[in-house]
């Protein structure tokens, strides 16, 4: 009684998972920088 | 609540259950019941993961947290995208290829039976405690705000959750979560719009943001380092990464969600959606709390939002001077806020600075009066460490939101409770059947036998959660400490899984001893230091790894000194 194995497909965008992960890291950097600037602007 | 509120509330809840059960047709094998036959699309898993994580008390508390302390709580989630990348890249393919139902089943494949048993028991202990509190906490708040009896609320919510979880399994849980998430997001957006509509005509959107910022309520990023401070950028990135690695990598309530994916890519996308969407969503919820703060600049709020306690202390002789101070401070703050907006509009920097100073001084007086009132609550027999944070948003909703919206917001709270609770009950049942019952009680049962056992286990954990919720009022501060309790256990589990994935030479016994030592160190840290609970996961993980690696090095040294002797397990 074991669940079946499933395929390992490439991502639907950016070609490779490595590029998707880098994209998310860049997104996180932009988001945190944006929040920091938001904090400074309304402090 | 008015008739329209009841109609909205009942229609929302009935549609959630009906939709979940409709989508769960055919869950008649163990594989379909526990893992949806590995057929789920990424967006359903993504929303289910998000809904399971967002319990009602998180939703109620987050807005209140922003009201009293500003938006810095958002930093708690900064580590989440980092954790999601690691789990998507490393953990998801390993779990899928291992063809397991639970995360702890993998531990036996990698280490041994005792490590699997310890991991399973840690999960059952920690998540079992949490399951009761998940149902109890919103019932407590609704009983105070709405006057609903706690016991009836917990039984109704528990019975509803158990019904669709028991009948439909993970598919019902996941598709119900999707709809619950829709209701939650819709309710939040409508709440924010309504807050803006209720602001005075001379205060526009940019003015509201400006006033919230001037009172320190838009402090989304704080860069000062303090071990005892739960929410700053450093604890968010480092402590948060460890916490979310533990939660999404080792907690069956989350692992089971992404194991239902029809491919590894679908499971990865569901996690990465959360990596992208979670922080903006939390920012949005906190922003609502900040705007509720701005609303109460112009409409006097009660000195404390817990009406039952307020009524109780109002007869105390010490309350009248506090109420007087509060009234004066509120009047000064309202005048200063209006004058500040006016100075800001006519671009008069000198007047703006003067009014800002007056506005902040009045706010400090209000904070001091609220703190003194909370102390009065404690001194007159109220709860130790009294806080009204959980009552702020719901007080606002029930008093100022229009008919229909109140019902929707209550539906949001109950939907969040049900989504978190169903995920917990479903995962507790899965671990009980797969890791305990099938492994130690009956190893040769048929598929139908384990399907029936899973349904009974779901009923058991649902009944346990409701029964535990019935006694939770006696636990008092434990409700406040539920996150801390989770952190007491997650570090050991995380250390165990990091060893499993990254250190192929480490064996079962070394890991098992490492987990016990790690757990002991976390408990000592919690009892004898002031270090914030957010760091426990990192500390526990590092101690487990260091202990296991040291034992492995000693074992390797002993084995190499005895030629031909195999490495011990």
CA nearest to A12 within chain B: B265
CA nearest to B445 within chain A: A1
- Which residue bears the tokens 């500040």? B340
3 state DSSP class of B132: helix
CA angle, residues B422, B1, B323, in degrees to nearest 5 = 105
User: What tens digit of pLDDT does each residue of B279-307 get?
Assistant: 999 999 999 999 999 999 999 999 998 88
**Among B81, B99, B264, beta carbon nearest to A3:** B99
Examine the pLDDT at B475 and tell me if it is beyond 60.
Answer: no
Examine the pLDDT at B72 and tell me if it is beyond 70.
Answer: yes
Chain A: which residues have CB within 8 Å of chain B? 1-12, 17, 20-21, 24-25, 27-28, 31-32, 35-36, 38-39, 41-43
CA distances from B418 to B24, B66, B390, B480 (A): 17, 24, 18, 20
- Which residue bears the tokens 């256990």? B489
Q: Please give the average per-residue pLDDT across B540-568, as a whole number.
A: 80
Poorest-pLDDT segment among B263-277, B338-352, B374-388, B488-502: B374-388
User: What tens digit of pLDDT does each residue of B110-142 get?
Assistant: 999 999 999 999 999 888 878 888 888 778 777
Exposed, middle or buried by CB within 10 Å (0-12, 13-18, 19+), for B3?
exposed
Q: Can you give the pLDDT at residue B403?
A: 85
Asked if residues B236 and B483 have their Cβ atoms less than 8 Å apart, the reply is no
Do the interacting molecules here have an ipTM over 0.85? yes
CB contact under 8 A, B263 and A6: yes
Q: Please give the average per-residue pLDDT across B90-101, as a whole number.
A: 93
The more confident residue out of A17 and B202 is: A17
Closest CA–CA distance from residue B513 to any residue of chain A (Å): 29
CB contact under 8 A, B213 and A43: yes
Instruction: Band the pLDDT of B474: cuts 50, 70, 90.
Output: low
* Chain A residues within an 8 Å CB radius of B214: 42
* Chain A residues within an 8 Å CB radius of B259: 3
User: What tens digit of pLDDT does each residue of B10-31 get?
Assistant: 998 888 888 888 877 878 898 9
* Chain A residues within an 8 Å CB radius of B231: none
* Chain A residues within an 8 Å CB radius of B263: 6-9
CB contact under 8 A, B280 and A7: no
**Among B31, B85, B265, beta carbon nearest to A3:** B31
CA distances from B49 to A33, B218, B252, B494 (A): 26, 28, 11, 19
Distance of CA B182 to the CA centre of its chain: 18
Spell out the residues 6+ positions from residue B306 whose beta carbon is closer than 8 angstroms to its own: B144, B377, B386, B388, B391
3-state helix, strand, coil in chain A (%, to 5): 60, 0, 40
**Among B38, B218, B223, beta carbon nearest to A42:** B218
* Chain B residues within an 8 Å CB radius of A10: 265
CA nearest to B448 within chain A: A1
Q: Please give the average per-residue pLDDT across B492-501, as a whole number.
A: 92
* Chain A residues within an 8 Å CB radius of B38: 3-4, 6
Q: Which pair of tokens denotes residue B313?
A: 């202390």
CA nearest to A42 within chain B: B213
Which DSSP string corresponds to B244-295? HHHHHHH-HHHHHHHHTBSSHHHHHHHHHHHHHHHHHHHHHHHHHHHHHHHH
User: What tens digit of pLDDT does each residue of B183-196 get?
Assistant: 888 888 888 898 89
Poorest-pLDDT segment among B177-181, B373-377, B544-548: B177-181
CA distances from B177 to A26, B44, B434 (A): 29, 8, 24
* Chain A residues within an 8 Å CB radius of B233: 32
Q: Can you give the pLDDT at residue B324?
A: 92
Handedness of CA B432, B437, B440, B443 (dihedral sign): negative
Closest CA–CA distance from residue B384 to any residue of chain A (Å): 33
The more confident residue out of B313 and B146 is: B313
Q: Can you give the pLDDT at residue B386?
A: 83
Q: Which pair of tokens denotes residue B363?
A: 């706010």
Instruction: Band the pLDDT of B483: cuts 50, 70, 90.
Output: low
Distance CA B377, CA B141 (A): 17
Q: Can you give the pLDDT at residue B548?
A: 96
**Among B96, B213, B275, beta carbon nearest to A5:** B96
CB contact under 8 A, B280 and A8: no
Examine the pLDDT at B479 and tell me if it is beyond 60.
Answer: no
Examine the pLDDT at B560 and tell me if it is beyond 80.
Answer: no
CA nearest to B31 within chain A: A3
CB contact under 8 A, B99 and A43: no
User: What tens digit of pLDDT does each residue of B437-451 get?
Assistant: 999 998 888 999 999
Distance CA B249, CA B237 (A): 17
* Chain A residues within an 8 Å CB radius of B221: 32, 35-36, 38-39
How many beta-carbon pairs below 8 A join chains A and B? 97
Q: Can you give the pLDDT at residue B567?
A: 47
Examine the pLDDT at B73 and tell me if it is beyond 50.
Answer: yes
Q: What percent of chain B stands above pLDDT 90?
A: 46
**Among B99, B222, B233, beta carbon nearest to A4:** B99
Q: Please give the average per-residue pLDDT across B195-212, as a whole number.
A: 90
Q: Please give the average per-residue pLDDT across B94-114, as a whole number.
A: 93
Asked if residues B495 and B544 have their Cβ atoms less than 8 Å apart, the reply is yes
Instruction: Band the pLDDT of B477: cuts 50, 70, 90.
Output: very low
The more confident residue out of B108 and B145 is: B108
Distance of CA B364 to the CA centre of its chain: 30
CA nearest to B70 within chain A: A39
Distance CA B488, CA B184 (A): 30
Best interface-test mutation with A: which of B27, B212, B268 has the largest number of A CBs within 10 A?
Answer: B268
* Chain A residues within an 8 Å CB radius of B100: 2-3
HEC string for B119-131: HHHHHHHHHHHHH
Backbone angles phi, psi at B134, to 5 degrees: -60, -40
Instruction: Band the pLDDT of B92: cuts 50, 70, 90.
Output: very high
**Among A8, A10, A39, beta carbon nearest to B221:** A39
Instruction: Band the pLDDT of B478: cuts 50, 70, 90.
Output: very low
CB contact under 8 A, B259 and A3: yes
Distance CA B336, CA B354 (A): 9
Q: Can you give the pLDDT at residue B433?
A: 95
Closest CA to A35 of B236, B340, B82: B236
Spell out the residues 6+ positions from residue B436 whose beta carbon is closer than 8 angstroms to its own: B117, B120, B124
Q: Please give the average per-residue pLDDT across B227-232, as a whole number.
A: 74
Closest CA–CA distance from residue B170 to any residue of chain A (Å): 14
Q: Mean pLDDT of all residues in chain B?
A: 87
CA distances from B390 to B41, B404, B438 (A): 35, 22, 41
* Chain A residues within an 8 Å CB radius of B265: 7-12
């Amino acid at each position: 009684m074991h669940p079946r194995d499933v395929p390992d497909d490439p991502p639907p965008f950016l070609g490779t998972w490595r590029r998707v992960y880098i994209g998310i890291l860049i997104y996180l950097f932009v988001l945190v920088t944006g929040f920091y600037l938001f904090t400074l602007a309304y402090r | 609540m008015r008739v329209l509120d009841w109609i909205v509330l009942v229609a929302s809840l009935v549609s959630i259950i009906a939709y979940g059960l409709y989508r769960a047709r055919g869950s008649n094998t163990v594989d379909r019941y526990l893992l949806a036959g590995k057929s789920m699309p990424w967006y359903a898993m993504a929303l289910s993961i998000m809904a399971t994580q967002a319990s009602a008390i998180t939703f109620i508390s987050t807005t209140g947290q922003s009201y009293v302390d500003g938006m810095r709580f958002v930093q708690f989630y900064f580590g989440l995208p980092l954790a999601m990348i690691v789990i998507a890249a490393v953990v998801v393919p390993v779990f899928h290829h291992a063809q397991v139902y639970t995360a702890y089943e993998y531990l036996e494949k990698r280490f041994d039976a005792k490590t699997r048993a310890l991991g399973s028991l840690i999960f059952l202990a920690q998540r079992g405690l949490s399951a009761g509190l998940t149902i109890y906490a919103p019932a407590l708040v609704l009983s105070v705000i709405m006057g609903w009896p706690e016991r009836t609320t917990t039984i109704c919510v528990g019975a509803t959750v158990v019904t669709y979880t028991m009948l439909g399994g993970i598919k019902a849980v996941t598709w119900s979560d999707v709809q619950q998430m829709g209701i939650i997001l819709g309710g939040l957006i409508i709440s924010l719009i309504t807050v803006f509509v209720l602001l005075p005509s001379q205060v526009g959107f940019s003015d509201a943001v400006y006033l919230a910022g001037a009172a320190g309520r838009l402090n989304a990023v704080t860069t000062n380092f303090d071990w005892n401070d739960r929410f700053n950028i450093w604890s968010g990135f480092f402590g948060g990464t460890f916490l979310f690695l533990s939660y999404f990598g080792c907690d069956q309530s989350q692992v089971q969600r992404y194991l239902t994916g029809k491919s590894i890519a679908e499971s990865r996308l569901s996690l990465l959606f959360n990596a992208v969407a979670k922080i903006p969503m939390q920012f949005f919820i906190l922003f609502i709390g900040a705007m509720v703060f701005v609303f109460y600049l112009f409409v006097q709020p009660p000195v404390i939002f817990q009406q039952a306690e307020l009524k109780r202390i109002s007869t105390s002789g010490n309350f009248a001077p506090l109420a007087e101070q509060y009234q004066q401070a509120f009047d000064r703050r309202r005048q200063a806020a209006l004058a500040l907006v006016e100075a800001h509009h006519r671009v008069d920097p000198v007047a703006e600075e003067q009014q800002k100073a007056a506005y902040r001084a009045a706010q400090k007086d209000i904070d001091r009066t609220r703190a003194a009132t909370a102390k009065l609550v404690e001194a007159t027999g109220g709860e130790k460490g009294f806080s009204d944070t959980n009552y702020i948003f719901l007080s606002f909703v029930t008093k100022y939101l229009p008919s229909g919206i109140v019902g929707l917001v209550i539906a949001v709270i109950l939907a969040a409770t049900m989504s978190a609770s169903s995920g917990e009950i479903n995962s507790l049942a899965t671990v009980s059947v797969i890791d305990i019952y099938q492994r130690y009680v009956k190893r040769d049962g048929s598929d139908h036998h384990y399907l029936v056992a899973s349904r009974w286990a779901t009923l058991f954990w649902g009944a346990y959660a409701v029964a535990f919720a019935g006694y939770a009022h006696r636990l008092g501060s434990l409700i406040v400490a539920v996150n801390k309790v989770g952190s007491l256990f997650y570090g050991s589990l995380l250390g165990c899984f990091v060893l499993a994935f990254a250190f192929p030479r480490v064996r079962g016994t070394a890991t098992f001893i490492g987990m016990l030592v790690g757990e002991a160190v976390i408990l000592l840290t919690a009892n004898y230091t002031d270090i914030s609970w957010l760091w426990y996961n990192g500390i526990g993980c590092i101690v487990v790894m260091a202990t296991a690696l040291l034992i492995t090095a000693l074992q390797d040294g002993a084995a190499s000194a005895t030629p031909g002797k195999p490495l011990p397990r």
